[in-house]
Every structure is written in C-alpha cells, then in structure tokens.
Chains A and B, each alone.
Chain A
Amino acid sequence: MKTRKGIEVSIAASIAAKLARVEVIAAYPITPQTHIVEHLAEIVAEGELDAIYINVESEYSAMSACCGAAAAGARTFTSTSAQGLELMHEILFIASGMRFPIVMATVNRALSSPLSIWGDHSDVMAARDTGWIVLFCENGQEVVDSIIMAYKMGEDRRVLLPVMVNLDGFSLSHVIEPIELPSQKEVDEFLPPYNPLYTLHPDKPVTMGAYGMPELYTEAKYAQETAIINSKKVIIDVMDEFGKKFGRYYKPVETYNTDKADFVFIGLGSVNENIKTAIDDLKTQGKEAGLINLRLFRPFPSDELMSALQGKKKVAVIERVMPGGAKNSPLYNEIASLAFANRMTLKMENYIVGLGGRDVLPEDFQQIYNEMAAKEKAEKVKKDKNYTVMRVRA
C-alpha cells in the first residue's frame, strides 16, 4: 500500500518539480508568490537538486530566462500568480511560438485593482489564449501528478509546447492535503531526460525567434495552432501511461454522477470538490445533479465535452472571473458556441462565484440547482447581464 502524507500543496508542487529533475528554475519573489519557488530555492541551495536557480528581477525576466534556458536545451520550471502572470504575458506568447516545453505552476489569484492576493481565475483567464497547454487541478494530488505529466506532454516531439498547471490560490496552494509522492525511481522510469529538437550550441548554430515576414507569419501560426490542437492525443496518451504506472488515471474531461442526472455543473479547479459535496447532499434529498470537470482547458476538449453533454438538459457553468464587458464568462462562451455548432439545445446558466477569495460553499451549488430546477421553460437571454454573480450584496 502506498503512503500518503500530509503536506502543503505548494511544497508538494516544488517536490514534483524536483522529481521531474528540472534543470533551470527562474522565479521572482513577487507578492503574491508562493512556497513553490521558495521551497525549490531551498532544495537547490541544499544540493538536493542539480539545477540552476535564477533569481530574476521580475516575472517578465522569469519567463524570459525560462525561454533562454529552454532554448539552450534545459528542462525548465517556474511558478507565478496573479499580477505576476500578467507581467509575463508578452513572453508567454514567445514561449509557445518558439515551442519551448516550459512547465509553469500558476497559482490562480485575483488581479488588482482593487488590490487582492486572494484566489480566483482572473489571472489564467487573461492568459488562456497564449498558445500554452492549460491544465486545471482539483486537489493537491492532481497538482503533483500534473506537473510530472506536463513535462512528458510538452516535451513530446509531436507537441513541443509549454504547459501551465493551474492550482487555486489558498484553497489549494496553502492547504495541507494527504498526497502520495512518487519515488524518484518511478518518476525517472516515466519521464526520460529532455531531448530537445533544437538547441543553442556553437557546434550547430541555428537562429531562433527570427522575423516572420507577412509571407510566412500566417503559415508559422497555422503550424503552431495545428500543434496545440493535435497535442490532445498526446495528452491523453500521457494521462493513460501515467495511470498505468502510478495507478491514478486522469482524463481531459472527467465526470461525476452524470449518468443519472440531466442537470450538470461545469467548473474548473478546486471548486469542483465543493460541487461534488453539493451533488452528494442533493442526492440525499432525492435530487440528481452531475459535474463535468474540465482538467484540460487548452486545447479545448470539444469532443470529450460534447460526449459528456449528450442527453443533458440544464447546464450551470461556474466560473471565477468577471466577464469584463463580454456577454458571458470565457468558459460559458465556449460551451455555448460548442452547443450551437452542434445544434444542441441546452438550458445554460452562467454563475460567477468566488471572486477575490470570496467563499464558495456547497450550499451555493444546492441553491443554483434549486433555482435552475424551478425554472421550467428556457428563458430569453437576459438583456444586460446574462450571468448571475453569486453572493453579491445588492
């Protein structure tokens, strides 16, 4: 029997990076940073990991240094949060466009202003279309497993893309959870050393990041887009292989109690644990609701989501970000477009929860269920706000 031990999720994430034998870590101790890079600094300083730790002067430099290290052929890791991710924004596109399989643990937190260090998905949602593979984690074990899997996904020659592993600020990053840490031997067997396609080396000079003239830019971006779309197959293969090796099986889209229910919640990250609790509570009242958990957000798992939505009537899309003037929050918009393209008639509602660290309780989801169950006929799209902000004092 494997042992699980109580450990802070941030610390476990840094141990996962160590188990992946990362060679270069570039990080900036911005507020808010987490114990992920702090503990990695200790691991490197204690000589437990043969890596170079670059203490850069900003998040912009952190991602830039990761790109440089990846160009030189190193397995590279960084972690950031909130404002730090936005400061990296420009370089996120460079990492994906230059096809560097950097792995970044993004601790999801609200963006200022108003100044906040608390959890929500404002940061990742502003960076969702940067050409990175984007994974979300429901609990600490998934964080550890995802970081290890991320290298195998991103470094695959058919992929060569950076991977962002998202974990919720505080509700995951700062809590102690029972986590099974694989042994170094097991991880080494699963994850071979990085074998880059191109490196910066004087023996074989190459040019990276050159000008893309109008005659070439479209083809270059088309090639990159094709790579991220095709990466889904590799992502699934890596998840399967991980399952066989470590006994924990993951899928791009996971479901909970969806067989019985024609009502489903769709959510991202740790909020899904509370949704599951709500689903269990509803069951004791004779009510059936299901959950569709998107572990993979980019590339968008359309096929898997479509099959999970078959036969469903009502969908509550739960998000932790303000639409910022859009009709709906990002995930809702994509599911609505998927449903429209497939001529599905779903009664969809969009709920904004847990902004800037506001508590999200299982009762909230019971309330959502009861509200939506009470409305029998599909309503017209609301004129101003086509979403509901939970717990806003009005």
Chain B
Amino acid sequence: MAKPMDQYKWHELNVGCVIEEIGNSKEYNTGDWRSMRPTWDDAKCKKCGLCWLYCPDNAIYEIEAGFYRANLGYCKGCGICATECKPGAINMVEEQR
C-alpha cells in the first residue's frame, strides 16, 4: 500500500476494499503471532523440498547447499512443515520473546 494501513481515511479506500496492487500481501507480517518456531536439523534433511511446498505462507526459502529455513517475518508457526517432513528434520520449538 502507498502508506501504512492505519493512515488510510475511509474515503481513500477503493470501493469494496479492492486491492489493485499486485502481491501486496508481503507487506503483511504474519509472523507476528507465532508461538512456535521451526528449526532445521540439516543432518536429517533429504532436501526433498516438501516443507517449502507445503508452507501455507510461502515462508520457507532455500539456502545454500539445498537446505531450507523459514523467514520468521512470515512464518506463523503452524507446524505444517514439521508434520510433512518425513525424516523428522524439522523440530518445532517454543518461541522465546
């Protein structure tokens, strides 16, 4: 958005709150409410990419050497990646903050 959400006046919104800007969901940091965070044990990882595929927030990205990590700005700690990882390379730990 052209400016932060909390600065919009009612008459500045598009009719029906239509968003004309493509991909602006990246401005929304869904990581704010996380209570658990995924951690990777690369020794167990088979580099299959299922965690990357299943993450509902597209928070997982590939790092060098083909392993994976979560962008904690968007990861909301749902644990889907940990459930889908068959070798058990992802461990959900309590978020400390």
Contact = CB atoms under 8 A, between A and B. Distances in A.
A219 interface: yes
B20 interface: yes
Contacts of A219: 8-10, 13
A238 to B, nearest CB: 19
Given A211-B28, A213-B5, A215-B5, A223 B10 contact: yes
A207 interface: yes
A211 B19 CA distance: 10
Interface in B1-40: 4-6, 8-11, 13-20, 22, 24, 28
Contacts, number: 58
Contacts of A227: 15
Interface residues of A, number: 26
Given A207-B18, A208-B16, A215 B28 contact: no
Contacts of A222: 10
Contact of B19 (A160, A206, A213, A215): A206
A191 interface: no
A227 B17 CA distance: 13
Given A211-B28, A213-B5, A215-B6, A99 B16 contact: yes
Nearest to A220: B17
A394 interface: no
B17 A210 contact: yes
Contacts of A98: 16-17
Contacts of B24: 207
B78 to A, nearest CB: 17
A98 B28 CA distance: 21
A226 interface: yes
A299 interface: no
Nearest to A216: B5
Nearest to A207: B19
13 contacts: A198-B18, A198-B20, A205-B22, A212-B17, A216-B6, A216-B13, A219-B8, A219-B13, A220-B13, A220-B17, A222-B10, A223-B15, A226-B10
Interface of B: 4-6, 8-11, 13-20, 22, 24, 28
Given A98-B16, A160-B15, A213-B5, 10 more contacts: A97-B17, A100-B16, A197-B18, A198-B18, A207-B24, A210-B19, A212-B17, A216-B17, A223-B11, A223-B15
